[in-house]
Amino acid sequence: MIRVFEKALLAACAALLFTACSEGAAPAPQLILPPGFRAEVYVENIPGARSMVMGARGTLFVGTRGEGKVYAVRGMGGDHRSVKVIADKLNLPNGVAFKDGQLYVAEVSRILGYPEIESHLDAPPEPVVIVEDLPSDRHHGWRYIAFGPDGKLYVPIGAPCNICDQDGYAVITRMSADGGDREVIARGVRNTVGFTWHPQSGDLWFTDNGRDWLGDDTPPCELNHLTEPGMHFGFPYCHGNDILDPDFGAGHDCSDYTPPAQALGPHVAPLGVKFYTGTMFPEQYRMQAFIAEHGSWNRSEKTGYRVSLVRMAEGKPLAYEPFVEGWLDGDSVSGRPVDILIMDDGSMLVSDDQAGRIWRISYIAN
C-alpha cells in the first residue's frame, strides 16, 4: 500500500509533470559539455517538447504530453525557423514516428496517422485511426513509438502502476504499419519511453525507469539490450542485476531474468536513447549510446537532468558518464531532457519539456 504522504507526493508530481510551460521561455542555461562541443538553442516556444522525429522533407515533428499538441518545425536556422501546431486536443500525444510520408502519433489508447503530412502543414488533414484498442490507463500511458529496421512499428505498454503484476502490461509490442500482426517482443519492462536499434547489429536497445519507494539509491534505472524476441527483463520481480522486489520477488530468482546491459543512476528517469551515427563528433563518440535523463522527482537530492554517455566496444557497454550537464544547479532545475535525434549533418538535437525548447549540440574542431 502507498502511504498517505506518498500519495500526496505522487499527486504533486503528476501536477508538475502535466503543467505546460506556456508562459514564455525562461533564459537558457549555460550548458556544460566536453571541450570542442557547443550547445545552442535550436528552437523554443514549443511548450512540453517531448519525442522528436524527422520527416522525409526536413520537417521536425515534436510530440508533447499534457499539452495535447503535436508541432511541426520548418526552416534551417534562427529567425527563419517556423513552428506550427498540426494537431491539438489529443490524449498525451508523446510518441511520433514517420514512414512513407505519414506521421504516426501515439495517444494513450490510439495510434493516429496523418498521411502526406508534409504537403499539408498549413491545413493538416483529419487523422486516420490506425490502432484504437491500446490500454486506456494514463499511468505510464504516454508512449514512445518508432519504426525498426524490420519496417515494424514498435509500441510499448507500460505498467499502470509503480509496482504491480498485470497481464498485458510492462511489455514492448511490435506491429505492421497498418496496426496488424501484433506481437509482444519483450516482457518485464516497467516503462520504456525511449528505444533505438544498434546501427550495425540491428538489435533493439531501450531505457527503462526503475520503480519508486525503495529509497534514494535503489533500484538503478536501466539501459537494456534485446537480442531475441520473448526476453523478460525482470519487472515486477527483480530490478537491476539482483534486487528482488519486496512485494513481488518472493519465489523468484533474478538469474531467471535478463539483467540490464548497463545499470544507470537511481531515479534519473532515462528517456530517449540514440547511437551516434554521424561524423561531426570525434571518432571516440561514434557508435556510442547517448541517453536523455529527465531527472528525479522522488529523491531527497535531485539527480539526472542531463544527457549521459554509455561508452561501447564491440556492442557492449564499458562506461557510463555525463556528456551534457547544466540543467541542474544545486536544487534548481532549468530544464528536463526528453529525447535525442541525430541530424544529417551529425549534430544532435535534445528536447526539453520543462523549458519548451530544443537544443542543438555540435562539435567544432580546435
Average pLDDT over every residue of 78-101? 93
Q: Structural domain boundaries of the chain?
A: 37-269
pLDDT, residue 359, reads 98
Check if the beta carbon of residue 195 is closer than 8 Å to that of residue 263.
no
pLDDT digits (tens, 9 = 90+) for 108-162: 999 999 999 999 999 999 999 999 999 999 999 999 999 999 999 999 999 999 9
37-269 CATH, one of 3.10.20.30, 3.30.499.10, 2.120.10.30, 3.90.260.10: 2.120.10.30
pLDDT at position 78, please? 54
For the stretch 276-334, pLDDT in tens is 999 999 999 999 999 999 999 999 999 999 999 999 999 999 999 999 999 999 999 99
Angle at CA 150, nearest 5°, toward 116 and 202?
Answer: 125
Task: Say which range, 8-12, 88-92, 189-193, 273-277, has the weakest mean pLDDT.
Answer: 8-12
What average pLDDT does the segment 94-102 reach? 98
pLDDT of residue 27: 85
Q: How far apart are CA 36 and CA 204, in angstroms?
A: 31
Of 110, 125, 228, the residue nearest 179 (C-alpha):
110
Q: 3-class SS at 68?
A: coil
pLDDT confidence band for 77 (50 / 70 / 90): low
pLDDT of residue 76: 65
Q: How many CB atoms within 10 Å of residue 18?
A: 15
Please check whether residue 219 is in contact with residue 210, taking contact to mean a CB–CB distance below 8 angstroms.
Answer: yes
What share of the chain in percent tops pLDDT 70? Answer: 92
Sheet holding 60-63, edge to edge: 52-54, 60-63, 70-74, 82-87
For residue 66, give the C-alpha cell. 499534457
- What whole-number distance in Å separates Cα of residue 103 and Cα of residue 98? 5
Indicate the pTM of the whole model.
0.93
Q: Which three cell numbers stand for residue 306?
A: 542531463
Tens digit of each residue's pLDDT (9 = 90 or more) over 178-211: 999 999 999 999 999 999 999 999 999 999 999 9
pLDDT at 235: 98
Cβ proximity of 328 and 302 under 8 Å: yes
The count of other CB atoms within 10 Å of the CB of residue 160 is 18
Reported as a single tens digit per residue, the pLDDT across 224-252 is 999 999 999 999 999 999 999 999 999 99
